[in-house]
Structure 1
Amino acid sequence: MGKLTTIKVRAAKPGVSADGKPTKAVYQDGEGLFLLVKPSGARFWMLRVQVNGKRRDIGLGAVAVETVGGGAFGDHDPVADTSLMLRSSLTLAEARKKAVALRELAKAGANPVAERDRERRVIPTFAEAVTATHEALSAGKWAERTAKAFLASLIEHANPKLGAMRVDAIGGSDIVLALAPIWNDKPVMARKVRARIVQVLAFAKARGWRADALPDAREMRSGLSSQTRGKNFAAMPFAVVPDFVAEQLSKERGASRMALLFAILTAARSGEVRNATWAQIDFEARTWTRSAADMKMGVPHVVTLNDAAIAILERTAPEGQRTGLIFPGAKEGRPLSDMSLTKIMRLAGRAETVHGFRSAFRDWAAEKMPTIPAMVAEMALAHSVGTATEKAYLRSDLRDMRRALMDAWGRFAAPSLSPGGNNVIEMEPKAAVVAA
């Protein structure tokens, strides 16, 4: 039985200091429930509990004025239908009931403050949480390209099924239903979308919008069919690369073909080459510098340019016309499409991918350059290398070793464009590159 009564609560007054000024007064009811009366006379309920061994004082709300009879709403009081956790003012009986509920939650290991606020908090829909996650994580953390891909994939593949659902109500079965249409038709994208959905839910949990644990990966896999095992990018055997390059050098010098040759000679990704600009090239230092926003890994990278790559650049545009994109597409100011380099491969009767030339370079480095550490080849490919500890101590980008490796690759892949090379192939006279 509590120490307070309705009459005592109504009559409770502030305390008085030694100099006669009003002070806060505290009245104990029992079981951790207290009535606080501020110097102004305002009265509030407070619950004192132990949470993880620490004392917590939790505000429950103001003291409600108790009325006799039906009150202002007659026989039906809409406040009575409102959850105790949502009420901002409580009678003595209601304060005791709310205190019991929160105290039991604290004993069970739950966070009573979070539970108190859970119903009051506005829970966003998944679509709203996607936007919030994108805005928060793209501000300084993601490259622009990564942020765009994150948002576009979820809008297209997740929002149709999950967008209208509250973010705290989404479970593994809901994610399975969202992924089912693309799970086998677009397996790579489906796995990315799954990871991004979980990332949104993790963000929601961190913001307090979601109390449940994140959906279990095994649970989601059990609800989806097995995907066809992914295959590596089809790569041209490195021994065939010099003949392929020589063949391409003998053909019309269009932007797509020159971009493909530059990609081969720098072992760069297709997108990095297609978006390369003349401002990134330093002919004197013989480097191609890409910012974090240009890179898949979101880390700045410098490519050392061998003689063959420099030769391709010099033949791509006269010195006075080297502005904007190095390999422009048909539309002014726009880069080549992602299929433009692949088209050159198909015209040559080759089934390999453009990305596969990176694998050819890596195989060549492993077999023909055994004195060069594997880490150097990985760094040349702009791959992340080493453990966190190794990265902390590795202050150098091993540029001298990378230059030696890339110079050797240029002499191997395009001897006709490299001093001391053989199998000389005459290129067409200098002229501006035309789109192909």
Structure 2
Amino acid sequence: MARQIHQLTVRKIAALTAPGRHADGGNLYLVVSKGGAKKWSFMWSRNGRQREMGLGSALSVSLSRARERADQARRLLAEGIDPLESRVLARTVKDERPTFGEIAEGVLKKKGEESRNQKHASQWRSTLETYAGSLWNLPVEDVDTNSIVEVLQPIWLDKNETASRLRGRIEAVLDAAQAKGHRPRNEANPARWKGHLDKLLPKRKKLARGHHAAMPYADIPAFLKRLQTLEAVAARALEFTILTAARSGEVLGARWDEIDFEEQVWTVPAERMKAGREHRVPLCRQAIAIMKSLEPLRNGEFVFPGQKQDKPLSNMAMEMVLRRMKVEDVTVHGFRSSFRDWAGNETEFPRELAEAALAHVIGDKAEQAYRRSDALERRRALMNAWEVHIYGQTFHSALFRTQRNSAQIQ
């Protein structure tokens, strides 16, 4: 009498918690580990020896899909072919079994070609290689929910923003694999968040000021005194970033030919700006002094050079300064929020001027077309006032009063 098949149901699978093998019939088993993880297994005997082949995690492989895979394995057995040996042989055919890393390289290449901001493209590579290294050499069709959770869990709470971005990037790689036919088209992406990983990973902490923890602006003067005692190029880059309220990528990519010392203006080209528009940054006295202090080190096009010839500082250089100074719960990007809070709470400068200093796009398209001027000189007065807040009220106060009075919108 043939053994009964299809003994399991979706409800029964959800209720199973006892460790061990639970038969569905037709050589298909649901294996429950001591930790509660569930996976599919196909078992058979050959020459008196028991053989076993994994068919994937029960989280990412549905009951119906597991039965399809078991059916394929039974057909191979009926033809005298060992299913496990057949799988090993198939893995030698590279085009049929590309690795996660091979698909990721294709995604990264496309991202680099499409992105205006090469820093953004390099962050994709850095995140995937640093934190998803365990997936890199896996056949992309074998990447399942368990392997993704193993990658995300160690950094999910401590580096929650990085972990969230990593999850999205893994999802993009697996989407690309599915589009190319390297993953079953009828299977959901195991890296998806809603209705899947959100049920398996703990809720993440919410960061202050959106996603970037910021230092209270009242604490910045004391912090700058400590920062100025450091002689590293990264420390000068961080000081310059705070003074200009610029994005870290804009600062790290700054080139000498963008600096006009006579006019005291730094012009960031459109291709390096988030909004895709050229942005002029008025430079205060201390920002110019930082530039002058770095001129003797000039050995290429970048204002803040890295260790390698003709390369800027790395993306993490300024964050590492904060870590060495043991400054907790603060990000480099968060200093932009500090500046914005100070401008709104402590000055009478118009809101539009503060937003323009941050290179934020203000208003609808009609208003943007009408507002042709970038209000450079009025923004200069604002940035000089920010410099005064940072370094003390006596610092260049006469110039501040004159320019502030001229900057008011009537």
Q: Same fold by TM (over 0.5)?
A: yes
1:304 aligns with 2:281: yes
2:246 partner amino acid: A
Alignment correspondent of 2:161 = 188
1:165 to 115, 119, 139: 139
Instruction: Say if 1:308 and 1:417, in contact at 8 Å, map to a contact too.
Output: no
Shift of 1:153: 2.3
Alignment correspondent of 1:220 = 197
For residues 171-320 of structure 1, the aligned pairs below 5 Å read 171-209=144-182, 210-212=184-186, 213-215=188-190, 216-217=192-193, 218-231=195-208, 233=212, 235-242=214-221, 245=224, 255-291=233-269, 294=272, 297=274, 299=276, 301-313=278-290, 315-316=292-293
Tell me the alpha carbon deviations over residues 336-357 of structure 1, each in whole angstroms, 9 at most, x when there is no partner.
564568648966x966554443
For residues 355-394 of structure 1, the aligned pairs below 5 Å read 355-374=333-352, 376-383=353-360, 390-391=364-365, 394=368
1:267 partner amino acid: A
Shift of 1:281: 0.9
CA 1:139–1:380: 2 relative to 1, 3 Å = same
1:238 partner amino acid: Y
Shift of 1:148: 2.2
3-state SS, counterpart of residue 420 of structure 1? helix
TM-score w.r.t. length of structure 2: 0.57
**Distance (whole Å) between structure 2 residues aligned to residue 344 and residue 292 of structure 1:** 29
1:149 aligns with 2:107: no
Shift of 1:195: 0.2
Alignment correspondent of 1:399 = 374
Q: Among the aligned pairs, what percent are the same residue?
A: 31
User: Larger RCO: Structure 1 or Structure 2 (Cα < 8 Å, ≥ 6 residues apart)?
Assistant: 1
Stretch moving more, 302-311 or 237-246: 237-246
Instruction: Say if 1:162 and 1:174, in contact at 8 Å, map to a contact too.
Output: no
3-state SS, counterpart of residue 405 of structure 1? helix
2:125 partner amino acid: L
Gaps of 5+ in 1: 1-77, 82-120, 423-436
Provide the aligned length of Structure 1 versus Structure 2. Answer: 298
Alignment correspondent of 1:409 = 386
Shift of 1:184: 3.6
TM-score w.r.t. length of structure 1: 0.54
CA 1:301–1:186: 2 relative to 1, 3 Å = same
**Distance (whole Å) between structure 1 residues aligned to residue 323 and residue 157 of structure 2:** 27
1:143 partner amino acid: N
Tell me the alpha carbon deviations over residues 196-255 of structure 1, each in whole angstroms, 9 at most, x when there is no partner.
111123334444555234444221121223344445555443345456657877x68764
3-state SS, counterpart of residue 115 of structure 2? coil
Tell me the alpha carbon deviations over residues 305-335 of structure 1, each in whole angstroms, 9 at most, x when there is no partner.
2432454246425699796433446776565
CA 1:282–1:206: 2 relative to 1, 3 Å = farther
Gaps of 5+ in 2: 1-75, 80-94, 401-410
**Distance (whole Å) between structure 1 residues aligned to residue 246 and residue 275 of structure 2:** 15
For residues 334-349 of structure 1, the aligned pairs below 5 Å read 335=312, 338-339=316-317, 343=321
**Distance (whole Å) between structure 1 residues aligned to residue 230 and residue 158 of structure 2:** 37
Shift of 1:140: 3.1
**How well do the aligned residues superpose, as a CA RMSD in angstroms?**
4.4
2:343 partner amino acid: A
Instruction: Say if 1:202 and 1:214, in contact at 8 Å, map to a contact too.
Output: yes
CA 1:166–1:257: 2 relative to 1, 3 Å = closer
CA 1:226–1:399: 2 relative to 1, 3 Å = same
CA 1:183–1:417: 2 relative to 1, 3 Å = same
Alignment correspondent of 1:325 = 302
Alignment correspondent of 2:112 = 138
For residues 67-82 of structure 1, the aligned pairs below 5 Å read none
Tell me the alpha carbon deviations over residues 96-143 of structure 1, each in whole angstroms, 9 at most, x when there is no partner.
xxxxxxxxxxxxxxxxxxxxxxxxx95644332212222223213353
Alignment correspondent of 1:4 = none
3-state SS, counterpart of residue 268 of structure 1? coil
Tell me the alpha carbon deviations over residues 26-81 of structure 1, each in whole angstroms, 9 at most, x when there is no partner.
xxxxxxxxxxxxxxxxxxxxxxxxxxxxxxxxxxxxxxxxxxxxxxxxxxxx9xx8
**Distance (whole Å) between structure 2 residues aligned to residue 219 and residue 371 of structure 1:** 47
3-state SS, counterpart of residue 279 of structure 2? strand
**Distance (whole Å) between structure 2 residues aligned to residue 174 and residue 346 of structure 1:** 33
**Distance (whole Å) between structure 1 residues aligned to residue 324 and residue 374 of structure 2:** 35
**Distance (whole Å) between structure 1 residues aligned to residue 230 and residue 143 of structure 2:** 56
